[in-house]
Amino acid sequence: MQATTLPPRTADLFRQGLERQAGSALLRFGAARRRPADRISWSGDGAAAWLDDARGHLWSVGDAVPAAGLVLRAAHELSDDVREFTGPLGTEALVGRHLAVTDVVEWVFRWTLEEPPVQRAEERVIELDKTHHGELLAFLNEHSPAHSTGPGSSGVSLWTGIRDTDGRLVACGALSSLRDSGAPLMASVATDARQRGQGLGAALTAWLTRYAVRRYGFCTLWQLADNSPAERLYTRLGYRNEDPCVSARIAAPGRP
């Protein structure tokens, strides 16, 4: 049932200065580019939230308690539209006291404004175009079946790869964008397991980061919170680690 209270539109998410606080990089980079006048957003004391209505995904930043309050408010006002959310760590437990939540995943939103140190094998990185999409898809399906971004995905501006001496693809990665803001987002970096230990993943990550920083002034990425090797690599390459997040779906009767 739709709520009778109309949600606010084009709320100033930056009025509180949250984007300047540690833990709110997702606001600074994820919503920094103003969306059209029909964007739906909420703000409160110590938190802000905005809706990606195409996905039914609510983004929230700030302290967990007020962020959870905004998630609950949005879910009440737009019960048919808000299907999932991302918020500061702890939001899922607070929301879960009132709504059933499922598919909880802990993430870290990471970012850098600086070019990383040059990595060995970085000179082997090449740009790939749409004629390589079939090859990229086959490679990802074999070596990274859970990849977040595939060839032909909307928002991807660049695919890169590394080949061995026989011309076979042995690593790949993409530069995509955050859906809500268009900010550069590294995605789907994958390496052939038989080639690991040669620094190919580090080379691709450094190359893509350098590309984004030179063109946009920064680069962002999502890291699974329990991925220790990625944690060490991204820290070594200069990515900030201030934004532990959690994502979850809001379960509703009859909702698929």
Cβ proximity of 104 and 246 under 8 Å:
yes
Query: What is the sign of the dihedral through the CA atoms of 249, 251, 255 and 256?
Result: positive
pLDDT per position as a tens digit, 69-119: 999 999 999 999 999 999 999 999 999 999 999 999 999 999 999 999 999
Q: Which amino acid is at 76?
A: H
Phi, psi at 47, each rounded to 5°: -155, 160
Q: Which residue has the tokens 């080949």?
A: 163
131: DSSP letter:
G
User: Taking the model in full, what pTM does it have?
Assistant: 0.88
Q: Is 188 helix (H, G, I), strand (E, B) or coil?
A: strand
Phi, psi at 159, each rounded to 5°: -115, 140
How much is the pLDDT for 256?
Answer: 54
Helix ranges, the chain (H): 25-30, 64-77, 91-95, 133-143, 200-216, 228-236
Q: Any idea what the Cα angle at residue 24 is, between residues 76 and 105, rounded to 5°?
A: 60
pLDDT per position as a tens digit, 178-191: 987 889 999 999 99
Q: Which residues of the chain have pLDDT under 50?
A: 1-4, 254
Tokens for 136, please give them: 């990229």
